[in-house]
Amino acid sequence: MLMLRLLFICCHLFLLPHLVITASWTSSQFPDLRGASVDQCVRAMPHGQLLYICDPDNILNTSQALALNRQLHELSIGTTCHCQRISQCITRNGLQEASHGFVVSIAIVSNLQMTIHSPSEAQLTERAESFTKALEGRWALGDCGNSVIIFVWEHYKKIVIWPARLAEKYVSYDERRHMLTRVNDLVQGDKWHEALSQLIAEIGKELHGQPEQKLDTGTLALILSVAVAVLLTMLITCCVCAFRCCGNLKGDERPRGVLAAAHRVDSIRALVLRRGSQLRRSFSKSPKFPVSRDGPDRFFGDTTIV
Ligand SMILES: *[C@@H]1O[C@H](CO)[C@@H](O)[C@H](O)[C@H]1NC(C)=O
């Protein structure tokens, strides 16, 4: 009995502090990378650089965090500014001013607060994405949607790459999926520093490239209708040419099939002309449509009438 009680006390002594240290984060409790709570993010601040990593559970050690921060700093000053105003890309670090392009930052947690006890993979992804989205709004790192947050959920070995509006055109959904597949082995082996370092390099490569050109449906419809119109025009021109050539032949030289076709076309033409003159009569009553009173022969003047 005494042994059992001792064991119980021991358990409490060892487990309680551990439980307190590994807090489950919510997005509002999580430290602000550009706010007063920034000193909770890392144990040692980098010199001459802004901080781009928030790791309050100390999953990375100091040298790893500083190495990744240097990589993120170089990415930020090495990419071009795609904002409309250049002032949106000025960083103030103390008295120094520097121009930056895309701002990629990292948030690492041991665990997030969850209301579901045994969440499915989809629920985990949804929770991770909503946390990262909330951080994007709170941290507000890029002034024109030029930020990317890499979120690491250590407990479930999960990484989310979350680009803001503009950055999304440079790092597409498929590219993000492929990047995460390539670091999966490192993630499963808890090699967070290596995995993050590789991700930063790959995201940097995409951010240096061209934005994804999405063809919207309006442009597509326009291109299609122009193509159809061109095809139709060509077809009609060919038909007219063919019948003109045949029409210039002598009656007896014509092959029988062509003769029949020509007859048919002529009867259609006569019908169209009759309809046309009816239409013209109704149009000419309206002053908006002044129509020339020239006879129909003017339009088909050089075609031989059979
Ligand atoms: C951080 O961790 C890496 C890999 O585990 C190790 O090589 C390095 O010495 C550590 N650095 C510090 C300052 O503890």
Q: How many CA atoms are closer than 13 Å to the CA of 260, on its beta-carbon side?
A: 2
DSSP state, 155? T
Question: For ligand 1, what atom is nearest to the CA of residue 64?
Answer: 1
Check pocket membership of 63 for ligand 1, CB cut-off 6 A: yes
Residues counted in the chain:
306
Note the pLDDT tens digit of each residue in 9-42: 444 544 444 444 557 899 899 999 988 899 999 9
Backbone phi, psi, residue 104, to 5°? -105, 130
- Residue 17's pLDDT is 44
Exposure b/e, 42-65, CB count within 10 A at least 16 = b? beeebeebbbbbbbbbebbeeebb
Higher pLDDT, 259 or 147: 147
Residue extents of the structural domains in the chain: 48-207
172 lines ligand 1 (CB under 6 A): no
Token pair recorded at residue 19: 């439980």
Pocket residue to mutate for ligand 1, from 64, 66, 68, 194, most atoms within 8 A of Cβ: 64
Amino acid 214: pLDDT: 62
Q: Is 58 in the pocket of ligand 1 (CB under 6 A)?
A: no
pLDDT of 287 above 70: no
Distance, CA 200 to ligand 1 centroid (Å)? 20
pLDDT higher at 176 or 221: 176
* The pTM of the whole model exceeds 0.75: no
Give the domain 48-207 fold: Diaminopimelate Epimerase; Chain A, domain 1 (3.10.310)
Ligand 1: centre distance to CA 37 (Å): 26
Cα of 166 from ligand 1 centre, angstroms: 36
Taking the CA atoms of residue 45, residue 48, residue 54 and residue 59 in that order, the dihedral angle to the nearest 10 degrees is -60
